[in-house]
Amino acid sequence: MLELLEESLELLVEKNTAVLKFDGEVIFDNSNQLKEEAKERLKGKTEVDKLIIDLSKVPYLDSSGVGVLLSLFKFMRTREGSLAIAEPNAKIRRVFDVTKMTEIIPVYMSLEEAVNQN
């Protein structure tokens, strides 16, 4: 399981900005592990106050996946930082619409756009 997780999560840090890239579905079966692994990696990067979650390689994210995003939103809020989502596909955007998640976390159609936002 650990090996699988390492392949499905990547954290790239440049100055105060981190891009967390998930690869594969983010669903009830792996959501807890992904959430804990992401937080663990971010704990060591105290300079990061802007986190972008890149969903370009995520084919689907269910209600548990929404829970992961909200958990990371709260994690960033405790360090007075921000969270944004980049490149969700049409199915995931529908999940965001239905759960009203876009009222809480900003969503951008490209990673570049998300990085360039304040």
Closer residue to another protein, CB minimum distance, 101 or 111: 101
Closer residue to another protein, CB minimum distance, 16 or 63: 63
CB of 116 to another protein, least distance (A): 27
Residue identified by tokens 């990085």 is 115
The total number of residues shown for the chain amounts to: 118
Pairing of strands 9-14, 17-23: antiparallel
For 17, 19, 73, 96, the CA distances from 12, given in Å and listed in that order, are 8, 5, 18, 24
8 Å CB contact between 87 and 113:
no
| Footprint of another protein (CB under 8 A) | 25, 27-29, 60, 62-64, 66-68, 70-71, 74, 90-91, 94-95, 98-100, 104
CB of 103 to another protein, least distance (A): 8
CB of 8 to another protein, least distance (A): 14
CB of 67 to another protein, least distance (A): 4
Closer residue to another protein, CB minimum distance, 8 or 111: 8
8 Å CB contact between 18 and 44:
no
Residue 28: name the closest of 6, 53, 61 by CA: 61
Closer residue to another protein, CB minimum distance, 5 or 13: 5
